[in-house]
Structure 1
Amino acid sequence: MTTPATTLPRLGVGLGWRTEIDTVVERLPGLDWVEVVAENLCAGHLPESLRLLRERGVTVVPHGVSLGLGGAGLPEPARLARLAEAARALGSPLVTEHLAFVRAGGLEAGHLLPVPRSRDSLRVIAENVRIAQDQLPVPLALENIAAQLAWPEDELTEGQFLAELVERTGVRLLIDVANLHTNRVNLGVDPAAELDRLPLEAIAYVHVAGGRLVDGIWHDTHAHPVTGPVLEVLAELCSRVSPPGVLLERDGNFPSPAELGGELDAIRRVLEGVPQHV
């Protein structure tokens, strides 16, 4: 088994940094760290807001959305180089990406699509992960995605697939509990069972986000308040392990600073084991 070579820091409770709420993020009390979409950065010209946060000692983690490690093609050197440059510019302790299929034959899917969870797919993705790890200056963590479909040739659950990928490569995990809830609604997947299959010691941090139900399908929008069922999945995870960090994602329909602060407080209460009433 391949094991992680370094110990990652305890991150605490964080928020996704977005240009639309940069000054809000700067002023939120008790914020331990932020995550920024790597593709929105120019490493040589970081936003003033991120510079100020770093000067205050706030950890900044770049989160990639387009590397496409779940595809059959090798990771593109230019995309890997950009992710590496972001990590260096931000002084980040790790970088993160999605375990997803995003392109093939020069065509972009425009969405994070689930990978076929077969043994053949696992072999290809493990090699892609090793290539990425060799080119990145800091550890890599991969995120489970929200899905509205499953491939008929799946041989493993997502939890089993991630566990085997960790065993083969030593990659870390970014567990999105909102995505686990999405897959429960859309695909009938039991979040607790999936958590039982995961190597929890490999978790780098956790995502929490809001969504909404439309015609029986759960949409992981990142533009709606975090719901009680998502916080319940977070509590389920916390009953098994103390996550190094938990981050609230918000990508649209940004609420007031007070509402954002309230959602962060709800996350803190889960981490403290306080029963939720959402």
Structure 2
Amino acid sequence: MAGDRDRTAELGVGIGWRAELDLTIERMEGVDFVEAIAENLRPGALPESLRLLRARDVPVIPHGVSLGVGGAEPPAAGRLAHLAACAEALDAPLVSEHLAFVRGDGVEAGHLLPIPRTRESLRVVTENVRRAQDALPVPLALENVAAIFGWPDDELTEGHFLAELVERTGVLLLVDVANLYTNQVNLGLSAVAALDALPLEHLAYVHVAGGYEHQGIWHDTHTTAVPAPVLDLLTELCSRTRPPGVLLEWDDHFPSDAALAGELERIRAATAAGAARGSLDGATT
């Protein structure tokens, strides 16, 4: 596992690659790595923009949204093969996916839904993750998802569920602090308590994103500037560990190049503030 961490140790600050942002990302300074939605890629015919970034030695991470490791059915061999082909075509350091339910009995949910956090669910997810790890040529990182509801029979918190899954499988974590904030607003789940429970030594990288509140519900839309509470959570995380990378997600209603560059600077500032706080805490304990 130490070797897996070494490959992601210096990702830096990145942005989610979207076709609408290809020229922006190509000419923007300070983009250390990018993440591309795997389902939008053809490994044998990668977008020219991604080929250009790889030629500049910018790491590109395939990010899946449909594998479904949180379902009762094992991940489909074809979906795993596609993720593996994307990783090989991009010479990616890892592949990331969501710990989510996306389909059952052939019916697509159309959304990344939370899974029941029960012992039985943990057993099933463990087998699904192991199957995925065996099929991939690079390490797998799993992302916590945003939710607008929770299951009544949950036996574990999200943090403890992920911690046990990591212990059983060695899977890496993609911690989305915007999703932790979403769950805090919508479900009353403490984001800081989740950080307390997570094995951050297995951290692959971090997501941040913006959204908006409507009638008491936070919508994680990836269409606005990152709100201050999400950056505060990033600072909190960085006071505990040095994340290998932090990535901005922006999926629609794209702002100016200058605005996106400003968001990356805000991320750097929050990261630096957390590192400084962590150094101070370490010096005073």
**TM-score normalized by the length of structure 2:** 0.94
Measured after TM superposition, the shift of residue 6 of structure 1 is: 2.7
* 2:70 and 2:115 in contact (8 A); partners too: yes
Query: Structure 1's 19 and 235: CA in aligned 2 closer, same or farther, altered over 3 A?
Result: same
Q: Retained in 1: the 8 A contact 2:102–2:112?
A: yes
Structure 1: 5+ residue stretches without partners: none
Q: Distance in 2 between matches of 1:73 and 1:203?
A: 27
Change (3 A) 1:158 1:136: same
Counterpart in 2 of 1:237?
237
Cα distance in 1, alignment partners of residues 230 and 215 from structure 2: 19
Q: C-alpha deviations, 1:159-180, integer Å up to 9, x for none?
A: 0000000000000000000000
**Matching of residues 104-119 of structure 1 within 5 Å:** 104-119=104-119
Partner Cα separation in structure 1 for residue 155 and residue 274 of structure 2: 38
Q: Once the 2 structures are TM-superposed, how far is the Cα of residue 192 of structure 1 from its aligned partner?
A: 0.7
Does 2:154 match 1:154?
Answer: yes
Return the alpha-carbon distance in structure 1 between the equivalents of residues 263 and 225 of structure 2.
Answer: 8
User: What residue is the counterpart of 1:170 in the other structure?
Assistant: 170
Q: 1:147 to 1:87 in 2, by over 3 A?
A: same
What runs of 5+ residues in structure 2 fail to find an aligned partner?
Answer: 276-285
Q: What corresponds to 1:143 in structure 2?
A: 143
The answer on whether the counterparts of 1:4 and 1:171 sit within 8 Å (CA) in structure 2 is: no
Which residue identity does 2:249 align to in structure 1? E
- Give the conservation status (yes or no) of the 8 Å contact 2:236–2:274: no
Partner AA of 1:102 in structure 2: V
Amino acid at match of 1:162: L
Q: Quote how far apart the aligned CAs of 1:5 are.
A: 5.6
Counterpart of 2:232 in 1: which secondary structure? helix
Q: What does 1:1-278 align with in structure 2 at a 5 Å threshold? A: 6-7=4-5, 8-9=7-8, 10-273=10-273
CA 1:206–1:274 in structure 2 vs 1: closer, same or farther (change >3 Å)?
Answer: closer
Q: 2:189 is matched by which residue type in structure 1? A: V
C-alpha distance after superposition, 1:9-59 (max 9, x if no partner):
220000000001100010110110000000000000000000111101100
Q: Percent of counterpart pairs with the same letter?
A: 64
Determine helix, strand or coil for the equivalent of 1:87. helix
Shift in CA distance, 119/4, structure 1 to aligned 2, threshold 3 Å: farther
Q: Which TM-score applies when normalising by structure 1?
A: 0.97
1:4–1:170: 8 Å Cα contact kept in structure 2? Answer: no
- Mapped partners of 2:2, 2:57: distance in 1: 25
Helix, strand or coil at the partner of 2:162:
helix
Contact 1:4 1:172 in 2 (8 A): no
SS where residue 273 of structure 2 aligns? coil
State the SS of the aligned residue for 2:4: coil
